[in-house]
Amino acid sequence: MNELITTLRDIVGPAQVLTHDDPATDLSAWEQDWRKRSHGRALAVVRPGRTAEVAAVVKACAAAGVSIVPQGGNTGLVVGAVPDDSGTQVVLSLTRMNAVRTIDGDNLTMTVEAGCVLQMLQEAAEKAGFLFPLSLAAEGSCTIGGNLATNAGGTQVVRYGNARELCLGLEVVTAQGEIWNGLSGLRKDNTGYDLRDLFVGSEGTLGVITAATMKLYPLPAAQLTAWAAVPSLEAAVQLLGLAHRHLGAGLTGFEVMGQFALSLVAKHFPQQRVPLWADHPYCVLLENSDSESEDHARGQFERLLETAFENGVVSDAVVAESLQQAHALWHIRESIPLAQAEEGLNIKHDISIPVSKIPAFCAETDALLRREIPGVRLVNFGHLGDGNLHYNVQAPEGGDPAAFLREQEERVNHLVFDQVARFEGSISAEHGIGGLKVDTLPAYKDPVALALMRSIRQALDPQNILNPGRVLR
Ligand code: FAD
């Protein structure tokens, strides 16, 4: 192994290879996942600065038979970016590769390196007069490489799609250490199999993404946010239908938040004023991005809400008067996972169900869980516009969250995922499989799809060098 470490130091420079041999170096930021569910031990953390260095690192590790865990911002929620506890894996951190290579305004694209932090890309796009719409609560630290490797979703999917839909081209280092230059800014290219789509969402198991060409959009003339209380989930789904009809392509966000989820924000972050939550079972956050003007957007919102009130779909509503107010409302939504963490460890499910079936799914699954585990507390919120719910389960009041997780997680997952299957949904809408759900996936994925996935992995990485034990065993 010493020989490999020396080779890696030759490739990226001595300062960019961190190991436990130096007692002054703390590797825990790379070895522990965001939710603190896993703390592994790396052979080394390697931080290349260029694509050619990534390729040379992968070649050297492959020659030594050492596996690699690609890592971006390490904000993933399914234990996919941290090493196992063997002390034999190399963490390949892409964060030094953070250049915006080009912005092509006429082609509405930007080509960026994998380690660029998402928020930095949003800002670079805005500075050039464009919108880069991918947006999620971890945007201050997650990277575009990680976003693509997990096919991240976020709050704007209802209009702009997932990371996959925003990506036109990729540069990838293969498991053999070759560089595939697929950085095309083409919107049309039917020249065989779509390799880009294979690597997007592959969670570091098929190749290392080193750069990407992403779509840009014109900046909207106005962006308005409304917060509406609804009498039920059925009403929230009806409001979504009305919003599609009234706002058309202007509908850029549609989030639902259950009463208990909002009560946790009110409890743990009292400085945030959460509107309307106490008297209503659900609240909805809507965003309208308009290419004409703020007046036009406000008029559209008013007509939508009038119709919704008349139909009994909305019980109460506020429209943000300023950008600052809009940010405060979004901040409440984004604080739900943090408030949950404050309340204690919990069992997370990031599921998708056809929108039309969500109310029935929740009614049945809520009742099932409450029957099976008396006192259980359900935290329900998410991207309703995309049929994506964060259906999380918190220990009964006063219970020990760690013990709850230990004793109940497997059972709760079974109950929830069986329901998801019954309602023709997916057990992972956004976060991926990683190491957390790798043993659960086979029970819920079509067997033919699983076999095809195994063949693809075997073809691209026969040595099983890239992120072994993640997505597939
Ligand atoms: P990491 O966590 O470093 O890695 C994630 C996976 O991608 C790992 O399997 C890793 O091996 C692989 N990987 C990373 N970089 C590369 C690369 N360059 N090449 C190949 N493989 C690579 N996700 C959503 O989709 N929507 C949300 O709304 C959302 N909200 C979140 C809110 C919070 C508060 C937090 C903490 C997370 C949230 N996430 C969400 C999850 C997470 O932020 C995303 O999965 C994000 O895309 C991960 O990016 P990252 O750079 O941190 O990747």
Residue nearest to ligand 1 atom 45, measured at CA: 76
Query: Are residues 430 and 448 in contact, defined by beta-carbon separation less than 8 angstroms?
Result: no
pLDDT in tens, 380-410: 999 999 999 999 999 999 989 999 999 999 9
Minimum-distance ligand 1 atom for the alpha carbon of 172 = 19
Look up tokens 């309602």; give the residue.
423
Residue 23 is predicted with a pLDDT of 86
How far, in Å, CA of 102 to CA of 104, rounded? Answer: 6
Residue 91 is predicted with a pLDDT of 98
- Residue 465 scores a pLDDT above 90: yes
Residue 327 is predicted with a pLDDT of 94
- Residue 276 scores a pLDDT above 90: no
Residue 37's pLDDT band (boundaries 50, 70, 90)? confident
Domains and CATH numbers, the chain: 2-93 (3.30.43.10), 100-218 (3.30.465.10), 222-422 (3.30.70.2190)
Residue with more model confidence, 35 or 48: 48
DSSP helix/strand/coil, 48: coil
Residue 310's pLDDT band (boundaries 50, 70, 90)? very high
Q: What is the distance in A from the centroid of ligand 1 to the CA of 242?
A: 33
How far, in Å, CA of 419 to CA of 368, rounded? Answer: 10
Q: What is the distance in A from the centroid of ligand 1 to the CA of 31?
A: 15
Query: Are residues 126 and 80 in contact, defined by beta-carbon separation less than 8 angstroms?
Result: no
Choose among 180, 49, 30: nearest CA to 90.
30
- 396: Cβ contacts below 8 Å, ≥ 6 apart: 373, 374, 375, 376, 377, 404
- Residue 361 scores a pLDDT above 80: yes
DSSP letter at 437 equals: S
Q: What is the distance in A from the centroid of ligand 1 to the CA of 165?
A: 16
Q: What is the distance in A from the centroid of ligand 1 to the CA of 379?
A: 22
DSSP helix/strand/coil, 80: coil
- 118: Cβ contacts below 8 Å, ≥ 6 apart: 134, 135, 136, 138, 139, 140, 142, 143, 144, 147
Residue with more model confidence, 24 or 7: 7
Q: What is the distance in A from the centroid of ligand 1 to the CA of 209?
A: 13
Choose among 55, 57, 52: nearest CA to 16.
57
Q: What is the distance in A from the centroid of ligand 1 to the CA of 150?
A: 6
Respond yes or no on whether ipTM tops 0.95: yes
- The percentage of residues in the chain with a pLDDT greater than 90, rounded to a whole number, is 95
How far, in Å, CA of 400 to CA of 58, rounded? Answer: 44
Measured CA to CA in angstroms, residue 307 lies from 226, 243, 314 at distances of 15, 10, 9
Q: Which helix (H) or strand (E) holds 256?
A: strand 251-258
Minimum-distance ligand 1 atom for the alpha carbon of 144 = 51
Residue 138's pLDDT band (boundaries 50, 70, 90)? very high
β-strands 346-347, 89-93 pairing: unpaired
Residue nearest to ligand 1 atom 49, measured at CA: 146
pLDDT (mean) for 9-20: 97
Q: What is the distance in A from the centroid of ligand 1 to the CA of 148?
A: 8
Residue 210: other Cβ atoms inside 10 A: 27
pLDDT (mean) for 444-464: 98
Choose among 107, 110, 68: nearest CA to 91.
68
Minimum-distance ligand 1 atom for the alpha carbon of 35 = 36
How far, in Å, CA of 190 to CA of 304, rounded? Answer: 41
Residues with CB under 6 A from ligand 1: 34, 69-77, 80-81, 94, 114, 136-138, 142-143, 145-147, 149-150, 152-154, 203-204, 208-209, 337, 430-431, 434, 467, 470
Query: Are residues 184 and 223 in contact, defined by beta-carbon separation less than 8 angstroms?
Result: no
Q: Residue 188, class by beta-carbon neighbours within 10 Å (0-12 exposed, 13-18 middle, 19+ buried)?
A: exposed
pLDDT in tens, 186-240: 999 999 999 999 999 999 999 999 999 999 999 999 999 999 999 999 999 999 9
